[in-house]
Structure 1
């Protein structure tokens, strides 16, 4: 399973939700501080299997089909070897347009024995998204103040991820697929 993710120096740049009492929205405990400087981020590509994690590849610039293809060329075979699965795996990715570009499909058909075709608009199927959340929680225990310290924390925590952790996520695939079928493509708990 392969995907990319963005990690911010000072946490999420997305919306945050909190449970609060009525008319308490402006109390400091219910507010997320904003970053006036240094709100930089790092983009990474990674992959996982039931055997563990592959390489963690740092992306310079904006991820597009060309950078994605380079990430696959540079890391996929090495990652499969690192995980001990070589050619014995089913490659999985989501339907992001850069993942489904003709260039990527052509490379995959020549370099990957088998890959799973996923339904359009289905973020529920790839358990690596859960691994990114896990990694983000782990790096928040570090004192991150720059891109370099963020990269160091990401690498350190990525290399600590156990095969037990990834196996649990991979084992959830059948339940994920069943949930998608039951929900007829609508969102699931995954």
Structure 2
């Protein structure tokens, strides 16, 4: 798969899980005091979700919020709405100590689907992927092999991974190797 194809979305791989690059995910980074009622209210008004707690996610349809650090959230929306929503959020936070940036074109998103997704992720990230330790609704910001990434589970068999677009080809490659049928360890399926 060429870097051009990855940059446009559409890369996919079938193995222990199905891996697909998702094209067109709107992403807005928010930096500020996530406990500030002005920020909480503005996010709810613009994105329709409540800011999540530590290492959690909050979704309402295509809108979502991911906790990224004590002073950072990643807000999700349809791609075509990201710039407008970033501008609207920025306007609502005028005068507040906050930073709002549309990062949609700077990030890549991959979806993993299948019962082996915990194993695929565990091979790459220093995160306890056991069902008791990591459940849908949680998010982790970490490293996957040599690159920074964040991931969360939408449900028991679906996860999404966000990384910098500049390393999308690398991420697709390591995910594909980790999901190769011949690499099954079956740690979580015993």
TM-score of the pair, normalised by structure 2 = 0.28
Bigger fraction of residues in strand: 2
Bigger fraction of residues in helix: 1
Rg (Cα) greater in structure: 1
